Structure 1
């Protein structure tokens, strides 16, 4: 799978240059604060990106799937890793050393594309945090589910993790998920939420209510 925001030529060159590595659920792929020694190209499985704040609070930044480039911002910027990346499923990735990555990016004239990609991701994160800070609990949870779900509708996250994404406690998330379950919008199991009525969830997000 080739990402829509990475040039095909660049992605294929990086895949060819990388060494395969496999990860189990719960494995750390990248750790916040570590030096940027390499990038990862995610070929299968899903990951979650977590940011630990100075006060110890943990924020869930994103869930990503196959076709994702991981760790490139730190490598291009020369800074430490900005977040911790953890495998949610069994993952297969290609590992490309930082020097090799930078050389291939230059060779394929992809610097501008990757910079635009990085800035777009930063804006998305800022917009999400600003949006959730201004909304009550119900709409926060609804919009988080829509953002974090994979195409099948599954959100492979527990209540605590959803809370980390929107700044809510596990108990508050449990209440809001219960309301959505009663409406028939989602089904829930331990550590797993599935969107069962996408149009309804989208209409709740658009209305700004999140629950009725």
Structure 2
């Protein structure tokens, strides 16, 4: 899933208008902003900090779907269709959001047609990407899927350092395995293979560092010949 386009985030003027109709809320690290399965009570605009969007699968595994940055709206689907939230949103560090009721959100969209179009484009892009991922996963090895996932996270939360691109977020093996539809053991083996290939390292703080981004991209596209992680 690619990083959101600049036009998909709200402008300063659109944020100011949202604040006129919304209410400020603050959350600490790890707190839940909205929970999967709960009815939609508000749409949220992230104005400071970063959040993690996590969905629980039928087998009980948590899958990190995305990270959201300031200027992005979330919870909008459930607000628009009157359903329940499809994922749980967690604060990463201190977070500031502005909550808007479903009625207020619909009124806001009527007043801000550009935002309505931007949200529509976001939904279309995410659906296309989900379809593409499902088709590609059938043909990819675990190593390829792990490499692709790490590249995606680098786009969202990577910081360039002397050692390479360091992921700001800690990613556990269960989270990684769930995200690439693999067992924890297979994910561990895939990471070990990427380390051996020289594409990946782990820092002292246990965060992943992509040491050779071009190599990791080639592996994501063409894979490795290690049969022990080809499942």
Normalising by the smaller structure, the TM-score range is 0.7 to 0.9
Matching residue within 29, 32, 39 for 1:28? 32
Matched, 1:105 2:119: no
May I ask how many residue pairs the two structures share in their alignment? 210
Q: Spell out, residue by residue over 1:105-130, the C-alpha distance to the aligned partner (whole angstroms, 9 max, x if none).
A: 11112433322222222222232233
Which residue does 2:134 correspond to in 1?
129
* Change beyond 3 A, Cα 1:169–1:63: farther
* Change beyond 3 A, Cα 1:101–1:58: same
Give the unaligned 5+ runs of structure 1.
none
CA contact (8 A) 2:10 2:71 kept: no
Looking at structure 2, the residues matched to 75 and 93 of structure 1 have their Cα atoms a distance apart, in angstroms, of 16
* Change beyond 3 A, Cα 1:3–1:25: farther
CA contact (8 A) 1:10 1:105 kept: no
Matched, 1:143 2:148: yes
Map 1:37-116 onto structure 2 (within 5 A): 37-109=41-113, 110-116=115-121
Q: Spell out, residue by residue over 1:88-144, the C-alpha distance to the aligned partner (whole angstroms, 9 max, x if none).
A: 333222222221111111111243332222222222223223322331111010001
Which residue does 1:5 correspond to in 2?
8
TM-score by length of 2: 0.79
Q: Spell out, residue by residue over 1:126-168, the C-alpha distance to the aligned partner (whole angstroms, 9 max, x if none).
A: 3223322331111010001011221413162111111111111
Deviation at 1:31, TM superposition (A): 0.8
Looking at structure 2, the residues matched to 116 and 133 of structure 1 have their Cα atoms a distance apart, in angstroms, of 27
* Change beyond 3 A, Cα 1:86–1:134: farther
CA contact (8 A) 1:43 1:92 kept: yes
Matched, 1:162 2:141: no
CA contact (8 A) 1:184 1:196 kept: yes
Which residue does 2:213 correspond to in 1?
198
TM-score by length of 1: 0.85
Matched, 1:174 2:179: no
Looking at structure 1, the residues matched to 19 and 55 of structure 2 have their Cα atoms a distance apart, in angstroms, of 27
Matched, 1:120 2:121: no
CA contact (8 A) 2:143 2:220 kept: no
Kindly report the root-mean-square deviation, in angstroms, between the aligned alpha carbons of the 2 structures. 2.4
Looking at structure 1, the residues matched to 179 and 57 of structure 2 have their Cα atoms a distance apart, in angstroms, of 13
